[in-house]
Amino acid sequence: MFGGFFDKLKNGLNKTKENLTEKINVMLGNYISIDEDLFDELEEILITADVGVDTSMFIIDELKKKIKEERINEVSEVYPALKRVIVEILGSTREDFTKQDTPKVMLVIGVNGAGKTTSIGKMSAKLKKSGYNVLMIAADTFRAAAIDQLEVWSKRAEVEIIKHQEGSDPAAVVFDGVQAAKARNVDILLCDTAGRLHNKKNLMNELGKINRIIEREYGHAEKETLLVLDASTGQNAVSQAKQFNEICKVDGIILTKLDGTAKGGVVISIKHELNIPVKLIGVGESIDDLQEFDASEFVEALF
């Protein structure tokens, strides 16, 4: 994630920088000493940058501890200390998405419009490029054009797709997809699912049914549930993640549309409040613009 992508990330986080780090810099310039007013103002900036109330309060508490422990008394040292606090919250583990245990099923969930189908397309391309035999399943059968959209991506990524007609039973599509995966020695099965969060009970039943079929027909395969969130929705993305996590255990998050949003602070909130790792981030429209999330690089680009 060096060079080109880091620059893209840095540029993509421009609006968040204006909303967060630049405001912090200006604010700190107004203080001669470290006092409660400084912390109050800093907390307010964090909240308005969509870091969230709980997380912002936690950051301030941790920052105060750090300042005391490290005997910091210069205002100029507050900024680097804050940066260290945020890196500690995000953690430093970065998984290599191109190294996967096989066979594997990746169940991709998320509300409509978050960039779910696009993310599946980009993930397929990335995995195929790494030498995996990938198969897509179009199990979002309720949304008009979801199947067509996934088919467009399957052609772009040059990956095969298993699909039924619109309105058919998602579990039946998954069943066929699993049989095809076994017959074709597929390494990774990427499954698109419906995202109607307003009807939680239906979604819960549907995902339960899909999971049972995978368990029964493909029990030896690794299973991972990835949630796609739109970064530009800010704190709404956090509440979506909480709701989805109640429906099924979420193993990782794909954060899309980080470029062009002032709400990139939501990354910190997701990690602190839910402790679900952000695995992939999207900072552009092209097929290669979905990359592994690296906490220290994210903070570096932001600060």
**112 annotated as a binding-site residue:** yes
In degrees and rounded to multiples of 5, residue 275 shows phi and psi of 50, 40
**116 annotated as a binding-site residue:** yes
**257 annotated as a binding-site residue:** yes
**110 annotated as a binding-site residue:** yes
Helices (H), ranges, the chain: 4-12, 14-19, 21-28, 36-48, 53-69, 78-90, 116-129, 146-157, 170-183, 200-217, 235-247, 266-274, 295-302
The answer to whether 71 touches 275, Cβ cutoff 8 Å, is no
**193 annotated as a binding-site residue:** yes
Separation CA 77–CA 92 (nearest Å) = 22
**259 annotated as a binding-site residue:** yes
**114 annotated as a binding-site residue:** yes
**117 annotated as a binding-site residue:** yes
**16 annotated as a binding-site residue:** no
**192 annotated as a binding-site residue:** yes
Q: Give me the torsion for CA of 127, 128, 132, 134, rounded to 10°.
A: 90
**208 annotated as a binding-site residue:** no
**91 annotated as a binding-site residue:** no
CA 271 to chain CA centroid, Å, is 10
**256 annotated as a binding-site residue:** yes
**200 annotated as a binding-site residue:** no
CA 79 to chain CA centroid, Å, is 26
**14 annotated as a binding-site residue:** no
The answer to whether 269 touches 238, Cβ cutoff 8 Å, is yes
Q: Which amino acid is at 103?
A: P
**234 annotated as a binding-site residue:** no
**10 annotated as a binding-site residue:** no
Sequence ranges of the binding site for GTP = 110-117, 192-196, 256-259
Sequence ranges of the binding site = 110-117, 192-196, 256-259
